A and B are shown apart, each in its own frame.
Chain A
Amino acid sequence: MTAERCREWRELLGAHALDRLPADERAGLEAHLEGCAECRAELDSLAGVARLMPLADPERFGAAPQPPAALGDRVLAAVESERRTGARRLRGRRRWRLGLALAGAAAAAAVLAIFVLGGGGGEGAPEREVAFHSLPPGMEIDTTLVPHSFGTEIHVYVSGVRSGTLCRVFLRDDAGRRASAGSFRYRWGEDSEAVLTSALDLSNAAAVGIRVGKRTFEAGV
């Protein structure tokens, strides 16, 4: 097979990969492919691209849409605004505490009663921040564990999952037993911190876990 002859066949490979070759030429090309490893390799490399072609919309081959000039400024302003409010992941926590301060009289009284009747237990021990690592890209989970005499208060900050996702939170003790802390739904676009409690004492907790949709993540305390 001369190189020139091979080139003639090779230039039909694109049409063949796209299944747009008339039957007579296809028969000839297939015979050539039997004996030409180079052309077979070339066909393979084009076949992957050819398979994707139906996914494209030819009406979108013109100029790509460009973001408005103001979007860059908005992104930077949003980053600046988060930076100014201090440690970004603490933003939700602060807001929650403010919310607690403003909460209805009944709720405030109930919290007060717990603190007054509290006494020993974990009360007074320092709170713990536990970050989750090895998460999928763009996903974030941070927790703060606050010891109380009645158990452990758990502040959970989640971002980067589908809005409406059910999240179940639990603590795990040294023996591997789970103590549920309840559940919440993550809502995108809102401050996504939830506050839950578990009856397990923080001093007995080995890990905090959260089941987000169908995936479970745990972090050692």
Chain B
Amino acid sequence: MAPGALSDERDVREAYAAHAGELFGFAVRSLGDAGLAEEAVQETFLRAWRAGDRFDPEIGSLRTWLFAILRNVVIDLGRARAARPRVAEGGVEPAVEPIDEALLGWQIEEAMRRIGDQHRQVLVETYYKARPYAEVAAELGVPEGTVKSRVHYGLRALRVALEEIGYDG
């Protein structure tokens, strides 16, 4: 049995404690249903346990492996298309599978939860709500230049957070 394999229940318990939250978050995001997401997470850990001896930590982390299995489970459930993430007005429609689009969307959302409130706030107001800098600056009581620099440092923080959760683009 390879080191790090999910060979006994203690391994499963530890893997669950470390990764179930994120896996569940992505499952809900891509399936759009908490009940189905629970099923998907359970099936993911069962498959991981059944194939535990095939996990090779030399190739990738346990987290990456579990996400790869969950991705297959979600495809099996055949529901990825039902929860296609919406694309903002004027946004690009990337040439990727809906499931991978959902994974990228989820990664951005997870990264957004990890950056500071001030950074997230200016990105939401100026980018997602497309409000003018002057309006947002007046509302926050700061100079317009400060809003722009917060957008800049917010985007940098977002990039760092994305790298932390495995994005390598």
Chain A interfacial positions (CB closer than 8 Å to B): 10-15, 17-18, 20, 45-46, 48-58, 60-68, 71-72, 74-76, 78-80, 82-83, 88-89, 133, 135-140, 159-163, 188
Contacts and interface: CB of A to CB of B under 8 A. Distances in A.
Contacts of A71: 20, 24, 38, 41-42
A79 B12 contact: yes
Interface in B1-56: 9, 12-13, 16-17, 20-21, 24-25, 28-29, 34, 37-38, 41-42, 44-51, 54
13 contacts: A11-B149, A11-B153, A14-B153, A18-B151, A64-B21, A66-B21, A75-B12, A75-B16, A75-B20, A88-B50, A138-B48, A160-B51, A162-B76
Given A57-B86, A79-B46, A160-B72, A14 B13 contact: no
Contacts of A188: 76-77
Given A18-B127, A55-B104, A162-B76, A49 B152 contact: no
Contact of B68 (A20, A74, A138): A138
B92 interface: yes
Nearest to A135: B54
Interface residues of B, number: 73
Given A67-B21, A138-B51, A20 B151 contact: yes
A56 B108 contact: yes
A175 B46 CA distance: 39
Contact of B159 (A46, A65, A75, A76): A46
B95 interface: no
Contacts of A54: 87-88, 91-92
Given A56-B109, A75-B41, A14 B29 contact: no
Contacts of B149: 11, 14
